[in-house]
Structure 1
Amino acid sequence: MLYINGEWIQTDEKIKVVNPATGEIIETVSTGGREETKKAIADAKEAFKQWKKTTGNERSAYLQKVVQLMREKSTELAKTITKENGKSLKDAKSEVAGAIAYLEWYAEEAKRVYGETLPASQQEKHLMVIRQPIGVCAAITPWNFPLSMITRKLAPALAAGCTVVLKPAPATPLSAIKVFECFHEAEIPNGVVNLLIGPAEEIGSEMTSSSDVRKITFTGSTAVGKMLLRDSAATVKKASMELGGHAPFIIFEDADLDEAVRGVMLSKFKNTGQTCISTNRIYVSESIAEQFGEMLAEQTAQLKVGNGMNADVDVGPLINEDSLKKVKAQVEDAVENNAKVLCGGNVYKENDLNGYFYEPTVIQYANENMKIATEETFGPVAPIFTFKEEEEVVERANGSSYGLAAYCYTKDLGRGLRMMKELDFGIVGINDSLPIVVQAPFGGVKESGMGKEGGKYGLEEYLEEKFVSISTK
């Protein structure tokens, strides 16, 4: 279903939503295209006239209503995520909690949009800077976090006083519908939030070409992000882009190996490795590489693969067949380039599973000639590279065109501080493979994107400064 100007809309055009664990069609959903997008943008523009005038307290109250509704429906929301995305139910519950946390944070931040008084250079003048909502925002969200990526964009936009037209990924529209049901029940004014499901080209081209859309925010591949930026240039939109990643995970010889193994497990196999900040290259000091590989393989082999709806499952399916083929091809290429598979390394098959499963895999002796060294894997494969010197590993880690997240494990405080400064990434975890929190900025550098989400930084992305000079003569 589409949600435009406070109404649920059914159309004749439908898409099928498939459970990647079973291959079963779980629902069919109405879609819209160019005309529906034009209407949603027009309605959002009209709604903005009043929404921007609401007080921070009023916007906060609306968001708090949504928070309460989502809490009441948290189990249903988690099951919806698992059915259409495939991730384990425990990962889905964690995503729901994160989605609610962003809404709750920005419900409070709505009250804290501050301006400034500037010192005047002439006695008869009074200078101020005020911050105002930028206007209608277009948001495009991915399938790997189909719930939390929505609230991470909607919450700061609404808190700032903007209105939104959102397009979720076609593979996972059901989570978006559930979120918008909560907005509808919370009686958010008509036109403030709008949901479009349908062809990316039709919807996206209307979003980027419309002069009524003043900001575009996107989470997805670098290639699509570049295209959206190019197409938005004619109307000079503000943009936030959270794009691809190729995260290095550096383990020095003085690291606590048990903690390092635990860190890699959390970073690599959460959501079946289908996260933009997931570890892609594990750099281990030569002196401990063999030991670390054995420890990691032992832990990885114990992971339970299966339908995410089962409570004991750790690793669910990949999102579709193309993703499965990509992971399989990367492992085969690594083996051809002299890698050793310590565990896994095959498509996972069980009699009762018809989905897109790959075994959690650890590869030893990875090198820069392999596809996995440069291509984002987005799957449950952990390749181990080795290094000798600190300067060497910094250069290799920074050698990627991506710059989203990086991790480093060491007991040496001075080295940790050096790595914090030298690693060219938007997010750095020192002895911490789960650094993401709602109050901190999330975003990358280089070809991993621009702009930030989270904390006060995420709110600022939806505001623009206006300088006011008043003569007191």
Structure 2
Amino acid sequence: MKTPIELDRYSCNWIGGERVQGTAAMEVENPATGRTIARVPDLEDEAVDRAIESAGQAFDSWSRLPAGVRAGYLNEWAQRLLDHSEELASLLTLEQGKPLVESRGEIAGAAAIIRWYAEEGKRAYGEIIPASNEGQQLLVYREAAGVVGLITPMNFPAATVARKVAPALAAGCTLVLKPAETTPLTAIALFDHLMATGIPAGAANLVTGEAARIGARLMAHPAIRKISFTGSTRIGKLLMEQAARTVKKVSLELGGNSPVIVFPDADPEKAAADIVANKFENCGQVCNGINRIYVHEDIRDAFVAALLSRVRRLRTGPGLSEGADVGPLISGAALAKVERLVGDAVAKGGELLAGGRRLQAEPYADGYFYAPTLIAGVTGEMDIAREEIFGPVAPVLAFRTEEEVVAAANDTDYGLAAYVYTQNFARIHRMIRVLKTGNIGVNGTSLAYPQAPFGGVKESGIGREGGRQGLEEYTVLKYVALTTE
């Protein structure tokens, strides 16, 4: 296969507006083949500190620029991504594995996010509060938080970069980005285009390397005033502990165990189509992806049949191949986790209706492919109902009453997303009130939009990305009591 992009071009980092190489390197592999496709720097601590200091030196001048000037850089960045969307999408699929059609949508979505924050940065308003005394004004200013550290995951290596970098720059912050070890090339390519806008040196910096070491460096440095992290709950808790030492502001989007509840009055065809599209997007590696499918016992058999017919039609293959619906998992460890969860479910009485195995014949032999899987008869005691699957497996659980299913849906440490299918208007409002989650989809499974705040409750995180709230995460308030007489 001919590589769609010169991969050696993305073997660098960006510090202070300059390309930087490290003395050590980390391998990046194609999950569809298991083969190394590139090497990126494994930066030493001194270089990470230099990136932080570069952002610190750039902060005053960048934060004082008019919001419209900052917007100009962001809009040009977005346009460059659109102008080079096909090669960026091919690169994304090559290192992450998702089907090319999904990668194309992600690049377009990243550009839309950047453009939205270019405009929203112009609306970071303060307040004038009615005073208590004559001759006094009470003013509230909203200012950039300072230098921020951004840590992004592997599953959406373009969209999550945009969702963090764009609001940070729009708010007036300068930044150091640390992309996932498995998918750094997309982030580096996006930064190449950001640097090509002529953005002032040091405003945006990118470092790659061993996650725990670089993360600890970002957390320990006093110049970093805010951290935004998307990833596992385990790592999020560790970062919160580290942030306490210098009292950094944090926003965390962490794990999920998202339920969908299908009531007997739901539109069955729409619900089945939506659930399969959501569950198997990006090989199930979506933070707000459906993890548990609760179906009312009166429609269970018919609904499972509708799900099964759609799962069986899914085509698995390398993301760059024609017609692939589902690509590989990101790594051998991810594959092993899915195998463990499915094995536990079957051993405890789950009914395997489709899939349930690793794909090992050609063209899957050297990659991390798992067959799209549907399991019925799942119970709350199975690991697959308790843990985030992050793979192409759809577990179905039956329920009898509304009270029963609400208790089951809420019986988790997570609270990122939930979905409900019903035509009953009163039930919709009850579900909105009683489900303990940060995001709810009603009769649909699309949640992530630039203008809407996205984030979790409980152990799914704190803070929000998207919307004006996503911009506010990168600001701090300054209150002034001004005596005028």
Q: Report TM bin, short chain.
A: over 0.9
Range with bigger deviation, 94-103 or 348-357: 348-357
Aligned length: 473
TM-score of the aligned structures, taking structure 2 as reference length: 0.97
Question: Counterpart of 2:98?
Answer: 87
Question: Counterpart of 2:118?
Answer: 107
CA contact (8 A) 2:22 2:44 kept: no
Question: Counterpart of 1:403?
Answer: 415
CA contact (8 A) 2:110 2:162 kept: yes
Task: Report the alpha carbon displacement of residue 201 of structure 1 after superposing the two structures with TM.
Answer: 2.1
User: Which residue of 194, 207, 214 corresponds with 1:203?
Assistant: 214
Task: Report the alpha carbon displacement of residue 129 of structure 1 after superposing the two structures with TM.
Answer: 0.6
Gaps in structure 2 of 5+ consecutive residues: 1-11
Q: Hey, what's the Cα distance between the residues in 2 that align with 1:437 and 1:193?
A: 24
- Does residue 436 of the first structure (1) align with residue 448 of the second (2)? yes
Question: Counterpart of 2:4?
Answer: none
User: Which residue of 87, 92, 108 corresponds with 1:97?
Assistant: 108
Question: Counterpart of 2:473?
Answer: 461
User: Which residue of 427, 437, 452 corresponds with 1:415?
Assistant: 427
Q: How does 1:36-185 map to 2 (within 5 A)?
A: 36-185=47-196
Question: Counterpart of 2:381?
Answer: 369
User: Which residue of 376, 381, 390 corresponds with 2:402?
Assistant: 390
Question: Counterpart of 1:446?
Answer: 458
Question: Counterpart of 2:289?
Answer: 278
- Does residue 235 of the first structure (1) align with residue 243 of the second (2)? no
1:166 alignment partner, SS class: strand
Question: Counterpart of 2:303?
Answer: 292
CA contact (8 A) 2:260 2:292 kept: yes
Q: Hey, what's the Cα distance between the residues in 2 that align with 1:429 and 1:56?
A: 34
Q: Hey, what's the Cα distance between the residues in 2 that align with 1:232 and 1:45?
A: 18
Residues 303-336 of structure 1, C-alpha deviations (whole Å, 9 max, x = no match): 0000000130000000011111111111111111
Q: Hey, what's the Cα distance between the residues in 2 that align with 1:409 and 1:201?
A: 41
Task: Report the alpha carbon displacement of residue 372 of structure 1 after superposing the two structures with TM.
Answer: 0.2
Question: What amino acid maps onto 2:371 in structure 1?
Answer: E
User: Which residue of 384, 387, 392 corresponds with 1:380?
Assistant: 392
TM-score of the aligned structures, taking structure 1 as reference length: 0.99
Question: Counterpart of 1:10?
Answer: 21
Gaps in structure 1 of 5+ consecutive residues: none
- Does residue 340 of the first structure (1) align with residue 338 of the second (2)? no
CA contact (8 A) 1:41 1:165 kept: yes
Task: Report the alpha carbon displacement of residue 435 of structure 1 after superposing the two structures with TM.
Answer: 2.1
Question: Counterpart of 2:5?
Answer: none
- Does residue 269 of the first structure (1) align with residue 280 of the second (2)? yes
Q: Hey, what's the Cα distance between the residues in 1 that align with 2:305 and 2:105?
A: 29
Question: What amino acid maps onto 1:238 in structure 2?
Answer: K
CA contact (8 A) 2:89 2:104 kept: yes
Question: What amino acid maps onto 2:88 in structure 1?
Answer: L
1:218 alignment partner, SS class: strand
Q: Hey, what's the Cα distance between the residues in 2 that align with 1:58 and 1:274?
A: 37
Task: Report the alpha carbon displacement of residue 12 of structure 1 after superposing the two structures with TM.
Answer: 2.4
Task: Report the alpha carbon displacement of residue 70 of structure 1 after superposing the two structures with TM.
Answer: 0.6
Question: What amino acid maps onto 2:219 in structure 1?
Answer: T
2:398 alignment partner, SS class: strand
CA contact (8 A) 1:90 1:311 kept: no
Task: Report the alpha carbon displacement of residue 94 of structure 1 after superposing the two structures with TM.
Answer: 1.3
1:234 alignment partner, SS class: coil
Q: Hey, what's the Cα distance between the residues in 2 that align with 1:188 and 1:428?
A: 38
CA RMSD of aligned residues (A): 0.8
Task: Report the alpha carbon displacement of residue 71 of structure 1 after superposing the two structures with TM.
Answer: 0.7
User: Which residue of 289, 313, 321 corresponds with 2:324?
Assistant: 313
Runs of 4+ in 1 over 6 A off after TM superposition: none
Question: What amino acid maps onto 1:303 in structure 2?
Answer: L
CA contact (8 A) 2:23 2:43 kept: no
Q: Hey, what's the Cα distance between the residues in 2 that align with 1:15 and 1:204?
A: 16
2:122 alignment partner, SS class: coil
Question: Counterpart of 1:30?
Answer: 41
Question: What amino acid maps onto 1:403 in structure 2?
Answer: G
Residues 271-323 of structure 1, C-alpha deviations (whole Å, 9 max, x = no match): 00001111111000011111111110111011000000013000000001111
Identity within the alignment, %: 46
